[in-house]
């Protein structure tokens, strides 16, 4: 049984590892007769928990960077936290929309197509998967990518830069960890109903509290039902979600939280694109509108079902050691069909198209075992973490490609006969990763030192049934991290850090030598500041990331590749949260990036990857007006600037930079009558000027319009 796994040999190994790390040096003759004498580290409660709601107008703690509950001010790496309250106030209905106000991220790379995948780049590198409660949401590399609804997320945490030292294979730009909503000690809840543009109709429920008088049993239930029109003509969006969780606390030292969620996305807009001619660039025949649709309404299909089941277990063995075991099972089913563009003809109006279908079924398992030791040795306070994690993915994927009739982009017929498609691939995929890691957080006075190392073993096996071909490879990698931060009495904390990442790489060179993983290295220096009254928090950082072992053309052997390519990202970020007056909060974000291929044999050297904005900036303000002005009214507003991005890998042109405006009004109906206490109405608007803009391009014939103006009215009852 899984339960015995947490008490068996693995737990003993982890306890032994941490004990050896923590034990003071002593004479050999005392080793067998004396016990390890560690001074327990007394940790004062600061109210906010790294896995709980954000208290105040910015987060003070996080576990994403260290897998331990650590103050952000003592973490020598840049991290941003977006709370569930932030998401609601800004009207975010996807994680990509929630990250509109953040540093280091070029979000919504595929424009208004946000209800399928969270497409974005971080510090110049694509992020193709997320983490939920510290465990990766695996996908098979095709289309069955899980997407988590923000309604079930307590915190969205963005860790900037390489993170392989704790999480294994991941891109060098960073990772996104979603902290799920969990049962709370206090009974509370809310029910809301929303209507809005694009025929939006939505209902949400979120309730939590104890099930007994002693607080041993807690529950939480989140539910969502949504339907709307997609931005592209004739398309629709639907989502249903239920996410129950249950906590059992048999003692003050032990907690077990069972989690599950079921999400169905029967429809999800369109995944198609628009040509650059007529969107980014002038077209002699005219310009396209943001609701342009390149697909076929009778062929279009996107039906994703995903569900998870797992638990989060924590037990304090004594005043020093804490053991945690997190487990999750994830299943994702996908039926996908699309007609998509392949290029614009010379007349600048006839679009060549092709068709695709994909039927996929994936199951995955993830487990993360952690043993934490918090203790003191003299003036030094230690937090040592030893861990062993593993995930396995098994997937079946049948994919077919076919032809489709052309489309007149200025007089489109989106209801044509699409020829049937025969399967082109029929894959059975088996992937797995196993990692062991060790981390030390040492603090003496104002100095915090972070050291970490991890060894990973990655395994991939593919069987293509139609051709009877077996492929696969095994790769391993050692990842390191080191950082130091010093906190002065005035709240200023400069830091410097080094971190590594890796990503498995399939294929081999001309000589048959298998490729090695691509690797990333980051050097980051920054400064953090938090005022004593917790009304101001500012983080600024400069960084350089180098991604190595990138495959590029082998000029000596045409048709083959070698691993001599390299990509470099340099940048500056600053994020600030300020409460200058009672009821008024300001949050500001700015990022400047310089990303380019520094080594490439195919003509990309000196070029910048697509989907990477050279500059982004945003500002959000909220003001709860005093009762003497307008009792019960909160006003909010934001402005977002996104700089230019390249339309293709050859950098032949750029999208136009754009500035968008958002706003929010919320009114507490209790100001009208005490009988209406707990009820409120909120009005959200995004892209208020309805600015036509292209959010990004991947090629000259694959560009995406950003979201048009949306307005949503939400009525909420809280208890």
Mean pLDDT value of segment 548-566: 91
Mean pLDDT value of segment 366-394: 97
Reported as a pLDDT band with limits 50, 70 and 90, residue 318 is very high
Q: Could you report the per-residue pLDDT of 337-352, keeping only the tens digit for each?
A: 999 999 999 999 999 9
Separation CA 162–CA 479 (nearest Å): 9
Q: Could you report the per-residue pLDDT of 576-612, keeping only the tens digit for each?
A: 999 999 999 999 999 999 999 999 998 999 999 999 9
Separation CA 390–CA 406 (nearest Å): 47
- Given a cut of 90, whether residue 669 has pLDDT beyond it is yes
pLDDT reported for residue 554 = 87
How far apart, in Å, are the Cα atoms of 343 and each of 353, 354, 405, 419? 7, 10, 13, 19
Mean pLDDT value of segment 293-302: 93
Contact by Cβ (8 Å): 169, 503: yes
Reported as a pLDDT band with limits 50, 70 and 90, residue 138 is very high
- Given a cut of 60, whether residue 574 has pLDDT beyond it is yes
Contact by Cβ (8 Å): 693, 685: no
Separation CA 589–CA 574 (nearest Å): 6
Lowest pLDDT segment from 21-30, 124-133, 433-442, 521-530: 21-30
**Kindly report the CA angle at 576 between 575 and 579, in degrees rounded to 5?**
160
Lowest pLDDT segment from 37-41, 493-497, 542-546, 663-667: 37-41
pLDDT reported for residue 169 = 95
pLDDT reported for residue 113 = 78
Q: Could you report the per-residue pLDDT of 382-409, keeping only the tens digit for each?
A: 999 999 999 999 999 999 999 999 999 9
Contact by Cβ (8 Å): 202, 226: yes
For every residue of 449-472, DSSP letters joined together read EEEEEEEEEEEEEEEETTTTEEEE
pLDDT reported for residue 56 = 87
- Given a cut of 60, whether residue 654 has pLDDT beyond it is yes
pLDDT reported for residue 119 = 82
Considering the chain, what percentage of its residues have pLDDT values greater than 70? 94
Separation CA 70–CA 287 (nearest Å): 52
Q: Could you report the per-residue pLDDT of 13-46, keeping only the tens digit for each?
A: 333 333 333 333 333 334 333 334 456 655 544 5
Tally of residues, the chain? 719
Mean pLDDT value of segment 165-183: 96
Reported as a pLDDT band with limits 50, 70 and 90, residue 221 is very high
- Terminal Cα distance for the chain, rounded: 40
Reported as a pLDDT band with limits 50, 70 and 90, residue 513 is confident
List the structure tokens of 672: 């009208």
Give the architecture (CATH level 2) of 2-718. Answer: Beta Barrel (2.40)
Mean pLDDT of the chain: 91
For every residue of 481-513, DSSP letters joined together read EEEEEE--TTSEEEEEEEEEEEE----B-TT-P
Reported as a pLDDT band with limits 50, 70 and 90, residue 111 is confident
- Given a cut of 50, whether residue 460 has pLDDT beyond it is yes
């Amino acid at each position: 049984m899984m339960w015995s796994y947490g008490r068996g040999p693995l737990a003993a190994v982890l306890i032994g590892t941490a004990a050896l790390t923590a034990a003071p040096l002593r004479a050999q003759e005392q080793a067998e007769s004396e016990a390890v004498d560690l001074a327990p580290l007394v940790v004062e409660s600061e109210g906010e928990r790294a896995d709980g709601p954000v208290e105040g107008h910015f987060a003070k703690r996080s576990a994403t960077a260290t897998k331990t509950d650590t103050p952000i001010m003592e973490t020598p790496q840049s991290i941003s936290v977006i709370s569930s309250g932030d998401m609601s106030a800004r009207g975010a209905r996807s994680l990509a929309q929630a990250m509109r106000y953040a540093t280091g991220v070029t979000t919504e790379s595929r424009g208004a197509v946000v209800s399928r995948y969270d497409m974005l780049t971080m510090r110049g590198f694509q992020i193709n998967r997320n983490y939920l409660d510290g465990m990766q949401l695996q996908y098979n590399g095709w289309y069955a990518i899980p997407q988590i609804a923000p309604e079930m997320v307590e915190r969205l945490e963005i860790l900037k830069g390489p993170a392989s030292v704790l999480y294994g294979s991941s891109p060098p730009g960073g990772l996104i960890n979603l902290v799920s909503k969990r049962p709370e000690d206090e009974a509370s809840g809310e029910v809301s109903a929303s209507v809005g543009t694009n025929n939006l109709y939505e209902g949400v429920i979120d309730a939590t509290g104890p099930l007994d008088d002693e607080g041993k049993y807690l529950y939480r239930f989140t539910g969502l039902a949504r339907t709307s029109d997609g931005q592209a003509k004739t398309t629709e969006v639907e989502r249903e979600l239920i996410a129950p969780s249950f906590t059992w606390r048999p003692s003050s030292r032990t907690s077990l939280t069972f989690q599950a969620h079921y999400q169905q996305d029967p429809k999800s807009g369109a995944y198609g694109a628009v040509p650059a001619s007529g969107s980014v660039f002038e077209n002699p025949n005219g310009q396209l509108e943001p609701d342009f649709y390149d697909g076929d309404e009778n062929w279009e299909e996107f039906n994703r079902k995903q569900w998870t089941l797992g638990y989060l277990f924590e037990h304090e063995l004594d005043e020093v050691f804490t053991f945690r075991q997190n487990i999750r099972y994830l299943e994702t089913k996908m039926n996908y069909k699309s007609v998509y563009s392949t290029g614009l003809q010379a007349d600048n109006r006839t679009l060549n198209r092709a068709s695709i279908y994909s039927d996929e079924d994936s199951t995955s398992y993830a487990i993360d075992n952690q043993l934490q030791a918090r203790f003191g040795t003299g003036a030094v306070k230690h937090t040592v973490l030893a861990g062993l994690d593993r995930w396995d993915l098994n997937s079946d994927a049948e994919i077919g490609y076919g032809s489709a009739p052309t489309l007149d982009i200025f007089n489109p017929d989106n209801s044509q006969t699409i020829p049937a498609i025969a399967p082109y691939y029929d894959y059975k995929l088996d992937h797995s990763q196993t990692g062991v890691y060790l981390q030390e957080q040492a603090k003496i006075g104002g100095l915090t030192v972070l050291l970490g190392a991890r060894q990973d073993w990655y395994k991939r096996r593919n069987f293509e049934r139609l051709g009877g071909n077996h492929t696969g490879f095994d790769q391993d990698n050692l990842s390191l991290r080191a950082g130091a931060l010093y906190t002065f009495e005035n709240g200023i904390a400069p830091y410097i850090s080094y971190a590594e990442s890796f990503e498995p790489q399939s294929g081999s060179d001309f000589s048959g030598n298998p490729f090695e993983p691509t690797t990333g290295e980051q050097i980051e220096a920054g400064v953090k500041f938090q005022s004593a009254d917790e009304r101001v928090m500012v983080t600024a950082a400069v960084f350089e990331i180098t991604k190595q072992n990138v495959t590029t053309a082998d000029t000596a052997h045409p048709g083959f590749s070698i691993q001599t390519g390299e990509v470099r990202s340099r940048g500056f970020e600053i994020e600030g949260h300020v409460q200058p007056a009672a009821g008024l909060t300001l949050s500001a974000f700015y990022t400047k990036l310089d990303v380019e291929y520094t080594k490439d044999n195919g003509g990309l050297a000196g070029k910048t990857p697509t989907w990477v904005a050279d500059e982004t900036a945003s500002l959000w303000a909220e003001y709860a007006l005093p009762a003497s002005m307008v009792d019960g009214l909160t006003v909010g507003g934001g402005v977002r600037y996104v700089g230019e991005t390249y339309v293709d890998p050859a950098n032949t042109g750029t999208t136009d930079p754009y500035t968008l405006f958002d706003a929010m009004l919320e009114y507490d109906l209790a100001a009208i009558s005490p009988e209406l206490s707990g009820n409120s109405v909120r009005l959200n608007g995004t892209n208020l000027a309805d600015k036509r803009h292209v959010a990004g391009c991947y090629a000259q014939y694959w560009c995406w319009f950003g979201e048009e103006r949306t307005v949503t009215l939400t009525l909420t009852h809280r208890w």
